[in-house]
Amino acid sequence: MEGINAKYVSQKISKTRWRPVSSSSLQQPDIFATGSWDNEDNKISIWSIGENGISSMDDEFEGDPQLVCEHKHNGDVLDLQFLDQDRIVTASSTGAVIIFRHHHNSQTLSVSQLWERAHHYPCDNAPCTGIVCNSPEIVTVGEDGRIILFRADQEGVLRTIENADSSTIHAVTFLRTTEILTVNSIGQLKIWDFRQQGNEPSQILSLTGDRVPLHCVDRHPNQQHIVATGGQDGMLCIWDVRQGNMPFSLMEAHSAEMWEVHFHPSNPDHLFSCSEDGSLLHWETSSNSDTPSFLQGGRNTSIVSRSALAPAGGNQSLISSWLTGDSSKGRLETTHMLPSQTLSVNSLDVLGQCLVCGTDGEAIYVNRRVPI
Amino acid sequence: MEEVDVEPTTTPIPGFDSNQKHLGFVWGPGDILVYETIYKASGGSAGGCPFVHEVRKDEDIYSPILRKLFNESHHIFVGLQRIREDMPSKNKKPQFVSISKNYRSVIRACMEELQQVAVSTQDAALATQYGSQVSILLAVELIWNLCEVLFIDAAPAGSLVLHLLDWVRLHKADVDEKAREVLASESPAEHQAYWDVVISYVLQGRMDEARQVLVKQAALQPAARAMFKLLDNLLMKMPIFNPGETQTLTEFDVKWRHWREEVDRCLQDQSFASNPHLEDICKILVGDEDVLLEHKELLSTWYHFLVTRLLFSHPTVKPTELHYYAQSSMHMFLDTRSVPEPLDSILLAAFEFDIHQVIKDCSIALNNWWFVGHLTDLLDHCKLLQSHNLHFGSNLREFLLLEYASGLFTHHSLWQLAVDYFDHCPEFGRVYLELQIERVPLDTERKALKVIRICEQRQMTEQVRSICKIMAKKALRNNRLGSALSWSIRAKDAAFATLISERFLQDYCANGTFSDLDLIDNLGPAMLLSDRLTFLGKYREFHRLYGEKRFLDAAKLLLSLMTAKIAPRSFWMTLLTDALPLLEQIEVIFSADQTHELMFCLEELTSEKSVPNPDRPMQDEDIETTKIELLRLALARNLAMAIVKERESIEGLVGGWVAGAVVLTGMQPGQPFWRRRQDRDWEPQVIG
């Protein structure tokens, strides 16, 4: 909890995301974007946590996040991802998918592309609930059960999977460049292969008979077959999609909906989750292999960010510590990262040593010294 | 009717002439809707105004900066409610004081931000608005701080004056600014505000700072050095009560009296006669009220005057004596003609320890319930409000919190904060929450989930059901049957689940395929919610078994759907039709007993249908009859085959039984039967 300060921003925050940094410079991120929800006028905003980064380690009062610029957003921001250094994709409750451009010189935001009513019902709007980017490709999912594939540089829609789901799809992630995984409100994970025509998933996984809605999903940054999901009961599930219909492990985490779960992009033995119950958890599993886990990642990527894909290959043969882990033997440690608070933590993002999260209490918390 | 405390204010409605038109209105929770009405009892359709005006009681809730106040104080409020009841009150007091300080620091932070934007904004109207908000917050913080000193901290004699001094110093901080300005000038001692600074410091009891500034003047006047030295000595020696030390109040009082006599002697022997400024200071030190009042400008308020007066005349004043000095100070300080401002009467009421008057006056003077709600709650935790009962609602604390929370609930975004306030209103909080939570507009499923979570945590099953039903209806309207079914399962709403299952079955009958298989195949125990849903799930299971070519299991399931009365009677015909392909498989799938049961079902159905339905077109009737004929035929054949097979396996005897079966079913033995067999190249030896 040390070094984590609340910044009250007068809007309920639905999403927070770091701007990706180039990994070669070993730089810590210093810019993040937030989206608001449930306001009369919703906004997306860009914040800076200071130019000098963490130059003074013992400085108690590190700079508050400062607002750089903001832009009106029609409808609630239901998801937000950086496409690259200066483009942000948002999912709106109006069903629109919007690309904003952040002009670094003038420090302004503008709409660079808008797909109105991308998600819709026959005569009403359907909220777009999730986005995943693998520049230039953008995949969106929505309450209408559609999966839509866009390209940032094309106006039209590349592909739509109608009726991909009979219930709401809550989140989506890339498994490989042509394969995505979605989670829905009846507790299923569906894998879709864009190389296949037709509107059927290539695989469906679920916790048999449970039907607990899943709200978030994240893929292990180096091992594409490992995904973490979080659901309405606050349970954290780790799945190995190659084998079995059952999750590899189930861990009790939160007492209410888990809204987001993220592996640390460069140190995947660490995982973070946040929930409606107002808590933010840091999970740490000790790696079994002798190889330090930081060597398992792909060093040759130019951009390190969760929205970008790590290169395939790498050390696939290594068994992830998440799959060998046994929470009952105390190999898994969890730490609360926020002081007690009652209102939902809707979103978190972690990059390098920096973590940012946003709450319904209209506060943003930034921690620049996450023990990774 | 009770008397009103103050005259209500008038809110003009733009573009409305009250001489010609009349207004109608409707109460909302935090606002009213106002519209023009036609007064004339009859006739005259004078063009009505198409506008409905929304009149809000509380504008502050829409200020983005004040929202921070609401959010941060919510956090403090929740923390306060968690302080355990059974803790000894001795340990609680420091906690309450620190919570009170937290509230005040939030007010201060807001104030500072408002001040900044007020200065930086270009818009004059906006600047005025910010300015007035700042002044309201200033007053609020001033009152809160005084309440903290008097009620929450409840400082005893001795410490009381020290706390009041701190209070005055905090709210009259312009002295420091002026002092900085003077000291930064080229020759401070000749600055025109020099003596103002010195005297202001003395008036606030900041003797060390006053001495430091005085040194500058002393250096300029070497001739008067002795005189300056004397005053410096007096200032230095002024006894200040120190509650931390072992010194008793009496000891302090004796010491103070000695000092005061010394100052008095200096005045008597005209030590400072040559310098009017120094003489004034000396007179202030003995508490000379006339001299104090000569410095009204520097004191600026009657309560500063009060505290200075107490410091120099009654430093050991008891809390109970405070009201006497407060009243006289106010009368001495204020112009006799001027009416005291609301702030003055609130502060006076506080000095009189009349908590209820303070709360009442604040409620009238301020336009929202934030301040009174939080202050009353804190005072209630300090057990200071127990004697008072309202003749409406439950108690003062709850009444004010409910008002505040209801106001929050009208806000499109702050409604979430209100929930925790309702939670801590034991008597009516839940009812308020129940009524309000159902009315939160639900645009997305995520918001609905949040609202449902709030209800579930409080076991508000009725509200959960109602919200799920809203969502289910919405999904149904958008033709999202799967979503609608999920919502009604969550709501455990059997009736609605039945309705949606019907829709699924209708769609199946129309299209011949099921939609939303991912959902129906994974119903699990949720299937038991309604009979129709169970049937839907089981019926789909039959199709899956059939698709997987597990005909025996499929046949068994199909039959049980009818015999166990799971399937609605209206659907039996479809089920029997589904049995047709199974009956016509090469292998015998339905056993003789099962075939009998199928036949029984068919007969039951046809006997009911014997009354012709006049609404039905003849053509339909024909199709129906043909269907039944076909079914009878297939059943009879199957029965025959089943018997043959079953007998074969037992006895190897066949012939007579076939004839028997044919007689049994009442079918004409003959062509169709045989013809079919020939069509399908049936092996002759089986039928003998």
Reported as a single tens digit per residue, the pLDDT across B303-318 is 999 999 999 999 999 9
Question: Residue B192: how many CB atoms within 10 A of its CB?
Answer: 8
Quick check: is A48 in a domain?
Answer: yes
For residue B575, which amino acid is it? Answer: L
Q: Which of B481, B516, B524 sits opposite A211 (nearest CB)?
A: B524
From chain B, the residues in CB contact with A169 under 8 A are none
Are B444 and A124 inside 8 Å of each other by CB?
no
* Closest chain A C-alpha to B68 CA, distance in angstroms: 6
- Whether the predicted pLDDT of A305 surpasses 50: no
Preceding amide of A136 cis, omega within 30: yes
- A-chain residues within 8 Å CB-CB of B518? 165-167, 186, 188, 190, 204
Q: Nearest by CB to A341, which of B75, B481, B518?
A: B75
Contact A206 B522 (CB under 8 A): yes
Across the interface, of B447, B453, B479, the residue whose CB is closest to A257 is B453
User: How many angstroms away from the CA of B450 is the closest CA of chain A?
Assistant: 8
Asked if A8 lies within 8 A of B71 by C-beta distance, the reply is: yes
Residue A200 lies in a domain: yes
Residue A123 is assigned to a structural domain of this protein: yes
Output the pLDDT for position A129.
96
Q: What is the DSSP string of A298-310?
A: -TT-SEE-TTSPP
Share of residues in chain A with pLDDT > 70 (%): 82
For chain B, give every domain's residue range: 22-51, 163-317, 441-532, 549-607+624-647
Q: Which two tokens stand for residue A349?
A: 């993002």
- Best to test chain A binding among B413, B454, B529 (most A CBs inside 10 Å): B413
B71 contacts on A by Cβ (under 8 Å): 8, 361-363
- Say if the Cβ atoms of B453 and A166 lie within 8 Å: no
The domain tally of chain A equals 1
Identify the pLDDT of residue B38: 67
pLDDT of residue A135: 84
Are B445 and A168 a contacting pair at CB < 8 A? Answer: yes
For chains A and B, CB pairs below 8 A equal: 121
- Find the Cα–Cα–Cα–Cα dihedral B257, B261, B263, B265, rounded to 10°: 180
Could you tell me if residue A275 is inside a domain?
no
Q: Under a CB-based contact definition with an 8 Å cutoff, are residues A337 and A281 in contact? A: yes
Contacts of A43 in chain B (CB under 8 A): none
Going by their DSSP bridges, the two strands A21-22 and A303-304 should be labelled as: antiparallel
pLDDT in tens, B635-647: 888 888 888 888 7
Residue in A42, A74, A167, A183 to test binding to B, most B beta-carbons within 10 Å? A167
Give residue for tokens 């039905």.
Answer: B616
Taking contacts as CB-CB distances below 8 angstroms, the residues of chain B near A183 are none
Instruction: Note the pLDDT tens digit of each residue in A203-227.
Output: 888 876 678 899 999 999 988 889 9
Work out the angle between the directed axes of helices B276-285 and B194-203 (0-180°, nearest 10): 10
Q: Output the average pLDDT for chain A.
A: 83
Largest CA distance in chain B: 150
Give A143's contacts in chain B (Cβ within 8 Å).
444-445, 480, 483
Is B81 in CB contact (< 8 Å) with chain A? no
Is the pLDDT at A4 greater than 80? The verdict is no
Contact of B116 with chain A, judged by CB distance below 8 Å, is answered with: no
Judged against a pLDDT cut of 80, whether residue A116 lies above it is answered with yes
B412 contact residues in A (CB cutoff 8 A): 38-40
User: Does the residue A128 lie in any domain?
Assistant: yes
In 3D, which of B151, B437, B455, B488 has the Cα closest to residue B319?
Answer: B151
Q: What is the reported pLDDT for B616?
A: 56
A186 within domain boundaries: yes
pLDDT beneath 50, residues of chain B? 1, 653-654, 656, 659, 662-688
Q: Residue B626's CB: how many other CB atoms inside 10 A? A: 10
- Both tokens of residue B678? 């020939």
Angle between the N-to-C axes of helices B531-547 and B572-583, in degrees from 0 to 180, rounded to the nearest 10 = 20
How many Å apart are CA B636 and CA A80, to the nearest integer?
65
Chain B contact set for A213 (CB, 8 A): 449
A251-255, long-range: CB within 8 Å, 24+ apart, which pairs? A251/A327, A251/A332, A253/A281, A253/A283, A253/A334, A254/A230, A254/A279, A254/A281
Predicted pLDDT at B554: 87
One DSSP character per residue, B349-369 reads HHHTT-HHHHHHHHHHHSSSS
B72 to chain A, any CB pair closer than 8 A? The answer is: yes
Reduce the DSSP state of residue A169 to 3 states and report it: strand
A342 within domain boundaries: no
Do the chains contact at B526 and A211, CB–CB below 8 Å? yes
User: For testing the chain B interface, which of A163, A211, A214 should be mutated: the one with the most B CBs within 10 Å?
Assistant: A211
Are B408 and B415 within 8 A, CB to CB?
yes
Domain with A227, as residue range(s), is 4-52+60-267
- CATH number of the domain bearing residue A126: 2.130.10.10
Give how far the C-alpha of residue B556 lies from the chain's centroid of Cα atoms, to the nearest Å.
55
**Under DSSP, is residue A157 helix (H, G, I), strand (E, B) or coil?**
strand
Please check whether residue B619 touches A, CB under 8 A. Answer: no
Checking if the pLDDT of A350 tops 90, the result is: yes
On the 0-12 / 13-18 / 19+ scale of CB atoms within 10 A, A305 is buried
Q: Closest Cα to residue B405, out of B413, B392, B414? A: B414
Contact call for A163 and B483, based on CB within 8 A: no
Omega of the bond leading into B581 within 30 degrees of 0 (cis): no
Best mutation target among B73, B450, B540 (most A Cβ atoms within 10 Å) is B450
**CA distances to A131, A187, A224, A372 from A91, in Å:** 7, 22, 25, 31
What pLDDT is recorded for position B46? 53
Cβ distance of A166 and B483 shorter than 8 Å: yes
Structure tokens at A260: 């987001």
> In Å, how far is A81's CA from the nearest CA of chain B?
18
Length of chain A: 372
Q: Using alpha carbons, select from A61, A14, A3, A113 the residue that is nearest to residue A362.
A: A14
Asked if residue A67 is part of any domain, the answer here is: yes
Q: Is B7 on the interface with A (CB under 8 A)?
A: no
Q: How far is B411 from chain A (nearest CA, A)?
A: 9
Q: Do B518 and A38 touch (CB under 8 A)?
A: no
- Chain A contact for B44 (CB, 8 A cutoff): no
For helices B322-333 and B342-351, the axis angle rounded to 10 degrees is: 150
Spatial separation of the C-alpha atoms in residues B289 and B301, rounded to whole Å: 14
Contact between B99 and B82 under an 8 Å Cβ cutoff? The reply is no
